[in-house]
Amino acid sequence: MTSAAVPVSNPVGAARRRFLLPLALAQFICSFAGSNMNVMIEDISEDLDTDVQGVQIAITLFLLIMAILMIPMSKLTERWGRKRCFLGGLTLYGIGALLSAIAPGLGILILGNSVLEGVGTALLIPPVYILATITFDDMTSRARAFGVISGLGGIGAAAGPLIGGFIATVISWRAAFIFQALVVLVIVLLSRRMVDPLPADPTRPFDFWGAVLSAVGMFFVVLGILQADSNLTLTAIFVALGLAFLLAFFLYIRSRERAGKEPLLSLDLFRNRVSNLALATQNAQWLVLMGTSFTVSVYLQTVRGYNPIETGGIFTAATLGVLASSLAAERLARRRTQKTLIISGFALTAAGVGLLLGLIYVWSSILAFVPGLLLIGLGIGVMLTPSTNVVQSSWPEDQQDEISGLSRSVSNLGSTFGTAIAGTILVADLARGHYAIAMVTLAIVAVIGLVAALFLPSSPRPREAASTP
């Protein structure tokens, strides 16, 4: 439902580039936050008197809070205004980063990093994609904008271990959170002249109970996964409970729609085959990327005894891979269909996971990790933008708030599952070959993503036609 007010005219030329920069930087720092702690696990554990599982819980909770709040926050962007939500989210994120930097224990770290940064990210990320979709209103310019945003997101996730490891080794792990706060400050300054293309609509209804049911359902599913290494009975109970809440959520929004009320999510969003397939590829991409980052980082620190900068340095290969493919994204998009790019990305990523699994057993050098991480970086960089563009462009402008929230939630659930599943397998027992089990699991997910991509149409229909799937 669009606002009745007259929208602000979209910027052009250099103004568009200035408009895009803070959005892309925001995606960069949020993706960075999801992976940079992986190389500091040993340092944080020792400093805060906790263990690997404690830090894993903090990382997973950050990703989970992002995921469960992304849809509700995307709905609030219309009510509160996109720029207001963007700046409010940045403020919360900055406060959380500073609190994490001075954390005396795991509890305060969870409050700052997991809760405040997680809520802040959920508030600021939906406006990034909504603003980009509305402002860049033709397919070519939107693809370019998504290329920049998704590219910096991928670089942030891939470079997180490298930058975080360097800062943690040269200064302290706490300084990595100061770095995040400084980047947030720069983004706020760059956003001062940003104008929301559409005015806020304070009368827009908000589905509170729908938000509660969806959040509780996703929370229990992930909580169940985290229990898998110690108590399978609890895992079954929590996952079943989570699925029950999610079923209740879908029944609730269906009844709300039938009553003529606006639900948290329209069921129409789940009836678009193209969008659903692209969402599945997004989930798989982030699950493999974050799962690989966590798995390799923990293995290098706890089994091979590498420090943060050595561990982060290995991830330079992934960072270079994402950077190279992101820089080539626009040229590749002109020569190949989005479906072809997504399929190629998953093929490269699956091959990279295979190399990470096989080479360490036949090659003792640290260089054994480079080919696999490079291929994963190249693969992720190739397909991030096409997947996002397919999802966003499958829907008309008046549903961009909803689909943006769903898209970001699905992507962040992938990140959450990647850290939770791989982390749970690793924490169980690294010394008994559980690294291999984790990598095989990630390879299977990459293949599932590849299969989903095979069913995408070669030329997705225009967004104007997507509202009647």
Number of structural domains in the chain: 2
Yes or no: say if 366 and 247 are a contact pair by the CB < 8 Å rule. Answer: no
In a domain, 428, yes or no: yes
Say how far apart CA 173 and CA 40 lie, in whole Å: 6
Q: Are 460 and 274 in contact (CB under 8 A)?
A: yes
Predicted confidence at residue 229, as pLDDT, reads 67
Residue 452 confidence (pLDDT): 96
- Model confidence at 29, in pLDDT bands (50, 70, 90)? very high
State the pLDDT at residue 2. Answer: 42
When mean pLDDT is compared across 8-22, 245-259, 386-400, the lowest value belongs to: 8-22
Average pLDDT along the chain: 86
Q: Note the pLDDT of residue 7.
A: 47
- pLDDT tier at 13, thresholds 50, 70, 90: low
Q: Between the CA of residue 239 and those of 100, 251, 290, what are the distances in Å?
A: 30, 18, 21
Q: Identify whether residues 189 and 249 lie together within a single domain.
A: no
Classify burial at 104, counting beta carbons within 10 Å of its beta carbon; exposed 0-12, middle 13-18, buried 19 or more. Answer: exposed
Looking at the structure, tell me whether residues 290 and 251 fall in a common domain. no
Token pair in block for residue 69: 């709040």
pTM over 0.85: no
State mean pLDDT over 360-385: 90
d(CA 104, CA 128): 33
pLDDT at position 271 over 50:
yes
Residue 270 has pLDDT above 80, yes or no: yes
Say how far apart CA 94 and CA 116 lie, in whole Å: 9
What pLDDT score was predicted for residue 222?
Answer: 86
User: In terms of domains, do 65 and 167 share one?
Assistant: yes
> Contact at 8 Å (CB) between 367 and 391?
no
What is the percent of the chain with per-residue pLDDT over 70, rounded to a whole number?
92
- Same domain flag for 256 and 279: no
Q: Are residues 121 and 221 in the same domain?
A: no
Q: How far apart are CA 238 and CA 87, in angstroms?
A: 35
Q: How far apart are CA 342 and CA 425, in angstroms?
A: 28
Is position 464 within any domain? no
Q: Which of 426, 174, 176, 166 is nearest to 308 (CA)?
A: 166
- Whether the pLDDT of residue 431 is over 80: the answer is no
Indicate if the pLDDT at residue 389 is higher than 90.
no
Over residues 424-430, mean pLDDT:
66
Q: Residue range 103-129: average pLDDT?
A: 94
pLDDT of 462: 47
65 and 153 co-located in one domain: yes
Q: Is residue 272 part of a domain?
A: yes
pLDDT at 430: 52
Domain membership flag for residue 277: yes
Does residue 452 form part of some domain? Answer: yes
Segment 312-354, tens digit of pLDDT: 899 899 989 988 887 787 788 788 899 999 999 999 999 999 9
Distance (Å, whole) CA 198 – CA 4: 10
Is pLDDT larger for residue 364 or for residue 108? 108
CA–CA separation, 272 and 392 (whole Å): 12
Residue 465 pLDDT exceeds 50: no
Q: What is the pLDDT of residue 467?
A: 37
Tell me the chain's radius of gyration from C-alpha atoms: 21
Same domain, 109 and 92: yes
For the ranges 111-125, 426-440, 455-469, the lowest mean pLDDT is seen at: 455-469
Pick the residue with more confidence: 330 or 186? 186
| pLDDT surpasses 50 at 4 | no
Give the residue-averaged pLDDT of 266-293. 91
Query: 269 Cβ partners below 8 Å, 6+ apart?
Result: 275, 395, 399, 402, 403, 406
Considering the domain architecture, whether residues 178 and 47 belong to the same structural domain is answered as yes
What pLDDT does residue 71 have? 84
**CA-based torsion, 34, 378, 145, 392: positive or negative:** negative
- The predicted structure's pLDDT at residue 213: 95
Max intra-chain CA distance, the chain: 65
Name the pLDDT band for 95 (thresholds 50, 70, 90).
very high
Residue (of 165, 216, 192, 212) closest to 44 by Cα position: 165
Based on the fold, state whether residues 235 and 364 are members of the same structural domain: no
Band of residue 458 on the pLDDT scale cut at 50, 70, 90: confident
Mean pLDDT of 404-421: 83
CA–CA separation, 196 and 191 (whole Å): 11
Domain harbouring 269, CATH code: 1.20.1250.20
| Structural domain contains residue 64 | yes
Q: What's the CA gap between 460 and 394, in Å, rounded?
A: 8
Range of the domain at 255: 208-263
Q: In terms of domains, do 189 and 89 share one?
A: yes
Question: How many residues are present in the chain?
Answer: 469
Q: According to the model, what pLDDT value does residue 251 have?
A: 96
Question: Residue 30 corresponds to which tokens in the numbers above?
Answer: 């949020």
Task: Give the mean pLDDT of 204-212.
Answer: 92
Picking from 235, 263, 291, the residue at the C-terminal end of a domain is 263
Same structural domain for residues 139 and 165? yes
Would you state the pLDDT for residue 433?
63
Same domain, 314 and 341: yes
Q: What is the 3-state secondary structure (H, E, C) of the chain?
A: CCCCCCCCCCCCCHHHHHHHHHHHHHHHHHHHHHHHHHHHHHHHHHHCCCCHHHHHHHHHHHHHHHHHHHHHHHHHHHHHCHHHHHHHHHHHHHHHHHHHHCCCCHHHHHHHHHHHHHHHHHHHHHHHHHHHHHHCCCHHHHHHHHHHHHHHHHHHHHHHHHHHHHHHHHCCHHHHHHHHHHHHHHHHHHCCCCCCCCCCCCCCCCCHHHHHHHHHHHHHHHHHHHCCCCCHHHHHHHHHHHHHHHHHHHHHHHHHHHCCCCCCCCHHHHCCHHHHHHHHHHHHHHHHHHHHHHHHHHHHHHCCCCCHHHHHHHCHHHHHHHHHHHHCHHHHHHHCCHHHHHHHHHHHHHHHHHHHHHHHHCCCCHHHHHHHHHHHHHHHHHHHHHHHHHHHCCCCHHHHHHHHHHHHHHHHHHHHHHHHHHHHHHHHCHHHCHHHHHHHHHHHHHHHHHHHHHCCCCCCCCHHHCCCC
Cβ neighbors of 221 (< 8 A, separation 6 or more) are 238, 239, 242, 243, 246
Q: Does residue 3 fall inside a structural domain?
A: no
The answer to whether residue 183 is domain-embedded is yes
Residue where one domain finishes, among candidates 221, 247, 263? 263
